[in-house]
Amino acid sequence: KSCQEKIERTIPFEKGVKDIVVDLEHKTVKVIYDPRKTTEAKIQKAFENLDYTCAKMQEEVVKQSDISK
């Protein structure tokens, strides 16, 4: 559980990150972000700074009107 807490205490505060969903069972984290404010590379670097590896699994595009402001 400390892995989840470490991610939840850090990644949401990266510029442009709107939300995260941590799934310990599948060892994945879904990151919802504003591409106008950050990039995949910056988010990946944030995970690497926590000593985790990171890879894009599947892209899901969400319309701006669907994102809570």
The pLDDT of residue 54 is: 85
The pLDDT of residue 2 is: 86
Residue from 20, 68, 67, 26 nearest 47 by CA = 20
Higher pLDDT, 65 or 50: 50
Residue 11 confidence (pLDDT) above 90 = yes
Question: φ and ψ at 21, to 5 degrees?
Answer: -130, 115
What is the tens place of the pLDDT at every residue in 23-58? 989 889 999 999 999 999 999 999 999 999 888 877
The pLDDT of residue 58 is: 73
For residue 21, the SS3 value is: strand
